[in-house]
Amino acid sequence: METLQGAELCFPQLLNTSCKRPMQHRTESIFLNIFFSSMSFLTVALNLLVIISISHFRQLHSPTNLLLLSLAVSDFLVGLLLMPVQIILQGDCWLLGSIVCALFYYLSFILTSASVGNMVLISVDRYVAICDPLCYPTRVTPKRVKFSICLCWICSVFYNGVILMDYLKHPDQYHSCYGECVVGIDSIKGAVDVSMTFVGPIAVIIVLYMRVFVAAVSQARAMRSHIASVTLQGSVRVTAKKSERKAARTLGVVVVVFIICVCPYFYPSLASQEMSSSLANPMFGIWLLFCNSCLNPVVYAFFYPWFRRSIELIVTLKILQRDSCDANIM
């Protein structure tokens, strides 16, 4: 009898302190592992294409694309590091130790915060481009954008280090048995984290994009009413404004998809009275959040012709040719 009990445990030699092995139907487990592994591979591959495209082609070195590059880096790390570990975490016992468990959650918090920060920066970029286009070239410069991106990542690292300080010092305190990997924060820090990582940034994003939408509609009406008297110079300005509005629409889709994917992840914390959800979120919320990292490049491929052209050049290895970085892909 003891042998049978030991076979069901993560660590059979620790009968009193070991967790029980998760019971899963074999066919279901294989299907989920294949599905999530495929998602991880696609996330890495697609975001790597975005990173190579924006980094290699000089024509894409714009402030807006620098923000997309930062977002692609966080999405790439999600697919490369977080998704494979999450597959292990949900399908079997945790055998990598408490330190690796703590680092996994710390990294996941950093990447989530960095993604939210990048979304806020993208919203600010589109707000200035649409609502104050004449000042956009002087206000949103590549140097300022690079500084903002670095500040976003640095703040994410230090902020989550403070939020998870107690957990990182004592990662075993929330483990009820050996073979378990969960994270926990107290109620005060939990409330602050939800406000800083979800409620506040999402409110800023929604307000900015509502103003962008109103400004874009008013500009479109103004251009239609004066289309007959537009000069050649004015036509260039109209084309530029259309390009900015198209970029705002595309990035608006990215933001909406992000909000849809991130809401189920934070919903348990918002619905909890104590705000002390020490255990991991349900699998659905976590994987929907991870799924957003795979969907962003798909949105780019659907809306951005330059991304499709750059993919063609990358896949056919034409980027290895001399002066390929100066290719015209816009």
Dump pLDDT digits (tens) for 78-105.
Answer: 999 999 988 888 767 888 888 898 999 9
Q: What is the pLDDT of residues 96-145, one digit of tens each?
A: 888 898 999 999 999 999 999 998 999 899 889 888 888 899 999 999 99
Give the per-residue pLDDT at 233. 47
- Output the pLDDT for position 188: 83
Residue 279's pLDDT is 40
CB 161 within 8 A of CB 246: no
Which residues, at least 6 apart from 126, have a Cβ–Cβ distance to it below 8 Å? Answer: 64, 208, 209, 212, 247, 248, 251, 252
Residue 275 pLDDT: 39
Domains of the chain are 30-223+232-326 (1.20.1070.10)
Residue with tokens 């980094």: 55
| 3-class secondary-structure state, position 9 | strand
Decide: helix, strand or coil at residue 298: helix
Phi, psi of 20 (to 5 degrees): -80, 145
CB of 21 closer than 8 Å to CB of 93: yes
- pLDDT of res. 242: 58
User: Nearest Cα to 24, choosing from 102, 87, 100?
Assistant: 87
Q: What is the mean pLDDT of the chain?
A: 81
Give the pLDDT of residue 248. 62
The answer to whether 299 and 247 have CB atoms below 8 angstroms apart is no
Integer distance in angstroms from the first to the last C-alpha of the chain? 70
Residues in the chain where the model's pLDDT stays below 70: 1-7, 15, 24, 91, 219-251, 268-282
Q: Which residue has the tokens 């959040």?
A: 289
Cα distances (angstroms) measured from residue 186 to each of 53, 165, 192, 239? 42, 11, 10, 53
Cα gap 319→316, rounded to integer Å: 8
Q: pTM score, two decimals?
A: 0.84
What's the full length of the chain, in residues?
330
Q: Do 47 and 297 meet the contact criterion of CB atoms below 8 Å apart?
A: yes
